Each structure stands twice: as structure tokens, then as C-alpha cells.
Structure 1
Amino acid sequence: MNGPTHGRPVRPVRNAPHHRTLRTAAALATAAALAGLAACGQQPAKDPAQQAAPAPTTRFTENGVTVTLSVSDWRSSKGTLTAVFTPEKPGFHLYSTALPATGVEGVGRPTAVAVAGSLKPDGELATAAEARPISLPGVDAPVPVYPDGPVTATLPVRADGTGAATVLLGYASCSTREGCTIPVADRPVRLRVTGDGPVFDAP
């Protein structure tokens, strides 16, 4: 008669030794596989983020703006040069990379990133922010500027051999209330291109 087993001793499971045998075999197989990898000089795969070396970085502050430079994704002698332009005071903006070198009717200076020496451009300069035109007193044409705050610019680059290289930077920051800082043009940052990639000189 089938029914509850309350008050009755529980019978041992007859196939328990069989389950223990399977677990033991699986553990032995895993250990053997790891031992085989070690014997062949192989190691379990690591997280790519743990393998990547930190990107070379440097920074400076001049005329109201802090510029942070880095080179990332360096593979097959190519990578990405990133420049982050951060005005020191709130309410200040930078000008578009498309601005003429002398500004619009003499007003403003373009945000610029260029390379020379053993580092060459491998594409066009791009920014994460979109420029917008503003009207300024005494200027007939609209002036393209980025929103107030930091601007990130990226330039694809490639190595042209090894040796000395230079990043040349230009910018000007302005505020509708406080006016403009002194423009910066062709401000050099030195670095070296090695067999392992670019390395910035000590500031």
C-alpha cells in the first residue's frame, strides 16, 4: 500500500555509490585537462581587460584650459590620439575644429590637434560634441562653438618609423560673461615612438 512514510526508517539509496563514482570521474577528468594545459605551456584564458597595458597619458594647463592627452588601441603601428580640453572655469566654451585659423572676423581660434615627426595622422580629427552657431556683438557671421565644458577630440594616428614626435595643440576658451582667455596655437607636446608604441616625454 502506497502512502506517507512517516515513522518508517528511510531506506538507503542503492545507486548512491554510482553517483559518487561519476562525480569522482568528472573531477579526475577536469584535473587531467588542467594538467595537460600546464604540460603544454598553456594557461587558462585571461580577461582581456587585465592583459591591456595602460594607455600613455600626459597633461598640462595653459591659458585657462587643462589638456589631457592619451594614445589608446595601439595595434600594428596604429592607434588613436585623444585630447580632452577642459576649461578651468564653468561657463567657458571652446571653438569648433572647423573654425578658420584666424577665427571668424578675427574672433575665436579653432580647437586643433596635429602630429609631426615619427607620428602621422591616419584619418580626420573628430569631436564627441557638436558645435552650434552663436551670434556675437560686432560680428556679422555666426561663430561655431561647442557647449560649455570639456571637449574630447580624437585623431587616428600611425607610426612612421621610430623616434621623436610632436603633438601640436591649439584652442581658445571664452565666456559670454567673462570674455576670452589668450588663444593658444601650435603648443607642442613631445613624445617618442618606440617599438612598443608612443611614450610621452616627462612634462
Structure 2
Amino acid sequence: MKTTRPTAIGAVAALLIAGAATWFATRSDTPKQSTVAQFTSQGVTVTITVKDHAASHATIVATFAPQKPGFHLYSADLPANGIQGVGRPIKVVPQGKLHGTGPLTANVKVLTLPLAGTNLALPVYPDGPVTAELPVALDGDGAATLLVSYAACSSNDCLPPVTDHPIDLEVNGSGIRERA
């Protein structure tokens, strides 16, 4: 069977694309990220991943994804008990063999949401998922815990807050994993 020129060119192009994809996926400067834990509570799925893991440091990445459209999360800058008791900030607090070395930063800008019928304005993220990163130091091998907090609301409904949901971890030189 004779191969036509366009088919041969297409095959070569496919091989080049596959090779480039493999090269980018295995480059040492490509951030490596691995999923550590996931849970769903009060209308939000939280996924914890780790990137940039090294012997002494890593970055904890927490993605807070509301399960229904139209829900937002409160800013990490909101006071711990909200403003006049309204709202709860997203928080990721490491304990044990991990400790934070910088602030929790989000991938989206904070909006100011006026609370109807009051003179309050609350710092919130836009509706939808929020990914927040926390740089951490690793204090050797052993047990660690992440305490995760948040609250989600829509324009009509607020879900009960989640406060200090524990994620038990094991830290060692080869990675950070959820403890079984």
C-alpha cells in the first residue's frame, strides 16, 4: 500500500506534537503538582494539592469550588468572625510539621459586596471557584494537619460555615500525602 504525501506529513506532525507535549510535561522547570486530599461540605468541594515541593518548602494549593452556580466565597482578608458576624474568610492553617511562610493568596480579585438592608460591605471573591496558595516550610518528617475554613453564599442564600475542617497529612522528603 502506498502512503500519500499528506498522510505522511500528518503522521510526522502528530509525532512532533506528542514529543513536544512529553518534553513540556517532563521539564524540570514545569511546576509539579499532586492532589493530596479532597472533601465536600456545605455546598463547596475543596481540593488540596501541593506544588513546588522541595526538602524544606512547598506550596499548598486549595481550590474552593461551590457546587451550585451563583455562589461566592468570602475573601481571606475578612476578619475571622466576619464583619458584625456576617461571613467567614477562606483559611488554610498548617500545623505540625508544616508552617506558613507567607499569606494565603487567591487567583481572583476581591470584590466589595454591599449587604442589602445594612451599611455593611463585605470583601468576597467573584461567584465560582477560587484557588488559593499558601507557601509553607517543612519542619522535617512527620505528621501535619491543615485546618480549612470557608463559607459560601449566593444573593439569596448563605450556607453554614465550615470551620477548621482537619486534613491529616504525612510529610517526608518524597512528598506530602494525606494520612490514611
Code of the residue aligned with 2:127 in structure 1: it is D
What displacement does 1:54 show?
A: 5.7
Equivalent of residue 143 in structure 1, options 99, 106, 122? 122
Equivalent of residue 57 in structure 2, options 49, 53, 78? 78
Code of the residue aligned with 1:165 in structure 2: it is A
Structure number having the greater strand percentage = 2
What displacement does 1:141 show?
A: 2.4
Structure 2 partner of 1:185:
163
Structure 1 partner of 2:7:
none
What displacement does 1:86 show?
A: 0.3
Structure 1 partner of 2:6:
none
Q: Distance in 1 between matches of 2:55 and 2:166?
A: 26
Q: Deviations over 1:24-62 (max 9, x none)?
A: xxxxxxxxxxxxxxxxxxxxxx94733777624220000
Q: Distance in 1 between matches of 2:24 and 2:129?
A: 29
What SS does structure 2 have at the residue aligned with 1:144? Answer: strand
Identity within the alignment, %: 47
Structure 1 partner of 2:4:
none
Q: Distance in 2 between matches of 1:192 and 1:129?
A: 30
Structure 2 partner of 1:194:
172
Change (3 A) 1:176 1:159: same
Structure 2 partner of 1:50:
26
Say if 1:59 and 1:67, in contact at 8 Å, map to a contact too. yes
Mapped pair 1:157 → 2:133:
no
Alignment RMSD: 1.8
Matched residues, number: 156
Q: Deviations over 1:72-97 (max 9, x none)?
A: 11123211100000001000000010
Q: Distance in 2 between matches of 1:87 and 1:48?
A: 31
Q: Distance in 2 between matches of 1:74 and 1:99?
A: 29
TM-score (norm 2): 0.81
Q: Distance in 2 between matches of 1:48 and 1:120?
A: 31
Say if 2:33 and 2:50, in contact at 8 Å, map to a contact too. no
Code of the residue aligned with 2:102 in structure 1: it is G
Q: Runs of 5+ in structure 2 lacking a partner?
A: 1-21
Change (3 A) 1:146 1:54: closer
Say if 2:55 and 2:138, in contact at 8 Å, map to a contact too. no
Q: Is the radius of gyration larger for structure 1 or structure 2?
A: 1
Say if 1:56 and 1:200, in contact at 8 Å, map to a contact too. no
Query: How is 1:26-65 mapped onto 2 (pairs within 5 angstroms)?
Result: 47=23, 49-50=25-26, 55-65=34-44
Q: Runs of 5+ in structure 1 lacking a partner?
A: 1-45
What displacement does 1:114 show?
A: 1.0
Q: Distance in 2 between matches of 1:139 and 1:103?
A: 14
TM-score (norm 1): 0.72
Structure 1 partner of 2:5:
none
